[in-house]
Homo-oligomer: A and B are copies of this chain.
């Protein structure tokens, strides 16, 4: 493959793409260290064909700029919010309905003439946090992202859990309260409806705040109503985490997503409730609760790392 710049490429890189309900994050990842060398963003709106065009454009942009960094891009990784099968096709996605059953990965591969590997966005983020972020050095990690919804991914016994069809790690759809609110999936009381960032927003507005963010701001200022709302929401987060702990026996839980900006009050609130809600908690080591370290890069970076792993597998060391 020819390089756009006249200079010869001296390093290997991948491009990671993180497709969420509203936007796409793209990063250029140096393959040896996982360093993010460059990044770009775009909207994920439109049809599946529009999405493929957007992704193709992002890859083209970062790839052109990579030549200036003397990097050669060997593969593309794609993280998508939804159930992504092992062939890279989105099979179910409440947040990206237009992409369902469309061969997004295959069309992107054809358009950019590079291998493309696809997975769930939170699974990709888990790979990044476990290798380079808050999960490093730990063989049993659960990443749980708290944002519009709840995403998750698991490292068990040192390996990324993919499941039979690549669909593992969707605990946001666990029903934890059949008397709870109805969700866009049609389920009543899934964890995501009770403990996502959106759920915090609902609880905050019910308590008279303008939004979840304003409740968080009020809490920082010492408002007791806001503190109470946030604590009740932390309890909902911990309730689902306790369910995960009894199933997976995770050593460390990494909290990610937009809510991480709250910082220590989030970590402490969730950890306190988790200790109270985990059955047999007095008889088992406390689960570590930590905040994600890679911020909004995590999903795209993880997709890039996954692409690098696949290339490694394909072409050998």
Contact = CB atoms under 8 A, between A and B. Distances in A.
A283 interface: yes
A175 B243 contact: yes
Contacts of A279: 92, 170, 173, 185-187, 190
A284 B156 contact: no
A167 interface: yes
Per assembly, the copies of the chain total: 2
Nearest to A288: B164
A164 B249 contact: yes
A163 B250 contact: yes
A91 interface: yes
B91 A174 contact: no
A168 B163 CA distance: 16
Interface in A157-209: 157, 159, 161-179, 185-187, 190
Contacts of A172: 246
Contacts of A166: 249
Interface in A206-255: 239, 242-244, 246-251
Contact of A284 (B83, B178, B179): B83
B248 A161 contact: yes
A285 B86 CA distance: 13
A172 B140 CA distance: 21
A100 interface: yes
Nearest to A285: B165
A284 B92 contact: yes
A280 interface: yes
Contact of A92 (B176, B177, B250, B280): B280
Interface of A: 83, 91-92, 100, 139-140, 154, 156-157, 159, 161-179, 185-187, 190, 239, 242-244, 246-251, 277, 279-280, 283-285
17 contacts: A91-B283, A154-B247, A156-B163, A157-B159, A161-B248, A164-B251, A167-B246, A169-B249, A171-B243, A174-B243, A174-B246, A174-B247, A175-B277, A176-B176, A178-B239, A185-B279, A190-B279
Given A156-B168, A168-B249, 6 more contacts: A91-B283, A140-B164, A157-B162, A162-B249, A175-B243, A179-B179
